Amino acid sequence: MPLMVLLLAAIPLRAAEPPRQWFSRDGKSLVGTLRTATSDEVTLLVDGQTYTFSLAKLSDRDQKHVRAWLDDRAKTKSPHIPTAVPAPLAPWPKKYDGQSDTRFTLVREDPDAPAFIYETRHYRFAFDVQLGAKALGEIAAVFEGVSNALAALPLTAVQPTETRKVTRFPVVVFSDAAEYRNAGGPVGSVGVFDSRADQILIRLDALLSPPPSGRSDLPRREQYRVLVHELTHQIMFPRSLHLPVWYGEGIAEYMSAAHFAPARFDFLGISFQARKYLRTYLPVGENGIFTLPSPAWVMDLRPESWNEDNKRASTEAFRKYATSLLLAHYFQHLDPPAGDGRYLNAYLDALLERDSARDATERWLLRGRDLTTIEKEIRAYWDTQGLRIRFLAPAER
């Protein structure tokens, strides 16, 4: 379970149809907002409730308004389907193996303070205890490995931001759990990315391999994976403020699943890694089926709703992270016809250019499809991988 959820800004949608007064043929009227329509029916939002009426029962004026609305939708639908397939930035890497990520430089050692400052290419570490070269090299490999592995992915939005190329990101490491909590670390966690202070706070036992027994609230083998999740958030910040929460969490879970050693990531075997990852965190349901919230529900979540759902029991709260992982995997590796993340990259770029979330989703992710189709494709693929999934609507959860 990730330690902290980054508060991502909601992306504004295109202005909705304004409310208007509607008249029936028998002279009755109401005030409502047009939500959807077909050549036979119209659905209105009235006082927070939706009602569907036969189009033939509306006044001639209102029928004309609905037909004009449908014509306008038909004219603007074509831009939502790309006329040309976007080119990928580069082939998707099979792996990342950071053999040179263990380099660090001593900046200052002051045993009397105590303060021990070290730097890697992208990070500046402040320790309150002195560590040996082997431990420092492994810590450098974990942090630099995430940054460099993300940089290898053919997605503009996940690349380290420009500021990280000229400044080093501060990391404060605590050997004492109480000091970590006093500095703002959440109780029960081992690390957190604090976007307000622009730094990472982390307990030393999350960085030592293997960590001392009893010092952490997480299973040993999952220590680095939680850290990888938070580092992914940090590296993508502040660009991530313009991306939907489902993808921010999905790519962080994807990186955690692909990570298997301090500076090593397996992207070629991501299906195996993701299946193993989900089985680690989620109990198998009846008949060996994993129950997860539907892609439509997860993709519609805003940061506030996501954080509210995190108040549930940890296993239940993790289910939406699992769906986000499967969505990120689908759009990065399975989305036809190319299956190489090119449409996802175009979608993320559109959001960074401040296109509306609705337009970007319809144009680059859906491309004339609906989420039910994508949901079926995700289930069918994972069936072939030995992972049976049932997606649940919110009311079923």
State pLDDT tens for residues 242-266. Answer: 999 999 999 999 999 999 888 899 9
- Contact 310/303 with Cβ under 8 angstroms? no
State how far the Cα of 252 lies from the Cα of 355, in Å rounded to an integer.
Answer: 23
The DSSP call for residue 17 is P
| Cα-based distances in Å from 222 to 1, 3, 28, 272 | 9, 12, 63, 17
Report the DSSP beta bridge partners of residue 261: 264
State pLDDT tens for residues 201-220. Answer: 888 887 775 444 444 444 44
**pTM for the structure as a whole:** 0.73
Q: What is the pLDDT of residue 13?
A: 30
pLDDT, mean over the chain: 83
State pLDDT tens for residues 140-169. Answer: 988 999 999 999 999 999 988 765 555 788
Enter the tokens of residue 185.
């670390």
Domain boundaries, the chain: 95-396
**Which residues, 6+ apart, have CB-to-CB distance to 351 below 8 Å?**
11, 157, 242, 243, 244, 357, 360
Per-residue pLDDT at 238 exceeds 90:
no
State how far the Cα of 175 lies from the Cα of 28, in Å rounded to an integer.
Answer: 73
State pLDDT tens for residues 304-352. Answer: 999 898 888 888 889 999 999 999 999 999 998 878 999 999 999 999 9
Q: What is the pLDDT of residue 117?
A: 95
- Contact 171/199 with Cβ under 8 angstroms? yes
Burial 233-272 (b: 16+ CB within 10 A, else e): bbbbbebbbbbbbbbbbbbbbbbbbbbeebbbbbbeebbe
Q: What is the pLDDT of residue 297?
A: 94
State how far the Cα of 217 lies from the Cα of 206, in Å rounded to an integer.
Answer: 10
